[in-house]
Amino acid sequence: MTPPPEPPSKPPAKKTDAQRKAIALRNEAARVGRHPHLVLTLRRTGGTSLMTFLARISPFPTVEHEPFNKNRMWGPLAETFKGQYDSAAFMEALDKPLTRRPNIKHCLDVVPLGLSKALISACHARGYQIFVLTRRNEMGRLRSLYIAQTTGVWGQEQAEILYPAIVAGTAQVRAIEPQTIAAQAKLDAGLMADTRATLAARGVDFGDLVFEDIYSSAAGLRDHACAIAAKLGVTVAPDDARLAALHTGKGLSASAVLPFIDGIAEVEAILAGLSQPQNTKRT
């Protein structure tokens, strides 16, 4: 015999104003002594699993990475105030998206410097813990950036689809002038220097994070993660289950697609030259 169908479930009861207020107060109480985070970095620096971990331990919401990029959640705001990032109107407009003090990962090299400066000021005023995440192997980061720009692969899921397609000839790589990598290196160095100067001028006590130090080993990664959490006002024990979000594993290697990227040899030669110390003439 077929059992009778289950009665339709009732929709959840709407919360009263008093219940909503109580929830808001509890959430605010949980945040006392804790800080949302703003991570300032450059594209292809790495640290995805660290960002996942920080989002999990934080009592604050986390927005999508690089939210001011075109076609992302705050892209229209950036477009509306283009060229006006130092204005009082833009600082006022930032108030709404920052009301809940969301955690933010912000890439300096995809938006104008003025926007980054305004974001630093707005987040600092709201009690954010600000971090600067860099890579000691800057030439390796730039090489990775060039490969991503030519292949269109920016993450593991894209790599699993596009790398085999490029090798099979069913997907094409984008032609990019190799010399652009030298200009990118100069631009990124300038952005990072200006950002550090801005943080110093505003009296921001920021945290310096270096990818290679954090990801030196599985144990080292956990230790660094716990120390970073402490700066956010969050205590994470060595056996905390949320540490499982961290991993040191590398993504899918791009080596198979390198023969299909025109100009990669020239790019590597340019980067090798940039990595050499410059000779200085004595007078």
Cα-Cα-Cα-Cα torsion 111, 54, 36, 194, nearest 10 degrees, comes to -30
- pLDDT for 250: 67
- pLDDT for 2: 57
- pLDDT for 276: 81
- pLDDT for 187: 97
How far CA 48 is from CA of 93, 156, 280, in Å, comes to 29, 11, 39
Residuewise pLDDT in 10s, the chain (283 residues)? 555 565 556 666 677 776 675 566 556 645 678 999 999 999 999 988 999 999 999 999 999 999 999 999 999 999 999 999 999 999 999 999 999 999 999 999 999 999 999 999 999 999 999 999 999 999 999 999 999 999 999 988 899 999 999 999 999 999 999 999 999 999 999 999 999 999 999 999 999 999 999 998 988 999 999 999 999 999 999 889 999 998 876 666 899 999 999 999 999 999 999 988 755 444 4
- Residue the block writes with tokens 């450059």: 42
Distance CA 282, CA 48 (A): 45
Distance CA 127, CA 204 (A): 10
Distance CA 216, CA 209 (A): 13
Q: Where exactly are the structural domains of the chain?
A: 32-275
- pLDDT for 32: 79
Contact indicator for 275, 281 with CB cutoff of 8 Å = no
Distance CA 256, CA 164 (A): 9
Residues 6 or more apart whose Cβ sits within 8 Å of residue 128: 35, 36, 37, 38, 101
Neighbours of 254 (CB within 10 A): 19
Contact indicator for 107, 42 with CB cutoff of 8 Å = yes
φ, ψ (nearest 5 deg) of residue 272: -65, -40
Residues 6 or more apart whose Cβ sits within 8 Å of residue 166: 151, 172, 173, 257, 260
Please state the length of the chain. Answer: 283
- pLDDT for 93: 96
Contact indicator for 40, 130 with CB cutoff of 8 Å = yes
Cα-Cα-Cα-Cα torsion 96, 97, 100, 105, nearest 10 degrees, comes to -160
User: Is it true that domain 32-275 has CATH number 3.30.300.30?
Assistant: no
Distance CA 276, CA 283 (A): 22
Residues 6 or more apart whose Cβ sits within 8 Å of residue 259: none
Helix or strand (DSSP H, E) at 154 = none
For residue 181, give the nearest of 153, 134, 152, 146 by alpha carbon.
146
- pLDDT for 253: 83
State the alpha helices, DSSP H only, in the chain: 17-31, 48-57, 75-80, 88-94, 113-125, 138-151, 156-168, 180-201, 211-214, 218-231, 264-275
